[in-house]
Structures are given as C-alpha cells and as structure tokens.
Amino acid sequence: MRLLTHNMLSSNIKGVTNGFPLRIEAEKVVEKTVDFNADFLKNMFAKVEWNALVEASKTMGYFELPDNVESSMLESDEFLQKFHHALLELHLEEGALICPETGRKFPVSKGIPNMLLHEDEV
C-alpha cells in the first residue's frame, strides 16, 4: 500500500467522528521505483494531508520529508523528489492500519489493506 492510498483512507467504523489518519504499524516495508511526474505531484500537493504523510513516512523509515511546507517548495526539484519517494515509492507490504479513535486494527497483507468492517461496526 502506497502512502498515497493511506493518505486518502479513513476509518469508517460507526460512531467514529474523525477516522483520519490511520496510524501505521509497519512490519514489512518495500521500496518500489515509480516514474516521476511533477505535474501529478503538484496536483496532489493540494489534496494531500501533509502532517499525516510526514508521520506515515517516518513510521515507514523515511525521515527526509520536511515537517512544514509551503507551496513555493514545489519549485524545488529536490523537494519534489522526496515528495515523490514518500508518496508513491514507499510500500507497506505487511502490517496494520489502526483507527485513531477505537484502536481497531485493519490488517495489511501483500500490500492490500483489509478495510472490511464487522457486522457491529457498520
């Protein structure tokens, strides 16, 4: 699971007011190479929840992302490369996503998070 996906996912459990962001429990992280596309990154920059991305990338072992950002940094290729790496190239293969309010674990296996809710959580 890429951090791009993680940044969009939120806990859907009944009664949870803010299910975002899901905490990551990383057991196995893999790095993949993905084509760099500056346009896409600039477009995504507005949508991405930056703090969540930084926290998530740290749990995956990547500490290069700056904590504070402003849109002027999008001009810097160096920054874009780091952004690209964190967003698209870090993959969680095995581990879990944890709902911030209930603590419920959503297992991640083979890179696919299992977000299926039980009967009583709907």
Residues making contact with another protein (CB under 8 A) = 1-2, 4-5, 7-12, 19-20, 37, 39-40, 43-44, 47, 49, 110-117, 119, 122
Tell me 119's DSSP state.
G
CB of 1 to another protein, least distance (A): 6
Query: Would you say 65 or 92 has its CB closer to another protein?
Result: 92
Nearest CB to another protein, comparing residues 39 and 70: 39
CA distance 103 to 110: 22
- Least distance CB 2 / another protein (angstroms): 5
The smaller minimum CB distance to another protein, of residues 2 and 82, is found at 2
* DSSP character string of 53-99: HHHHHHHTT---S-SS--GGGGG-HHHHHHHHIIIIIEEEEEEEEE-
Place of tokens 């911030």: 100
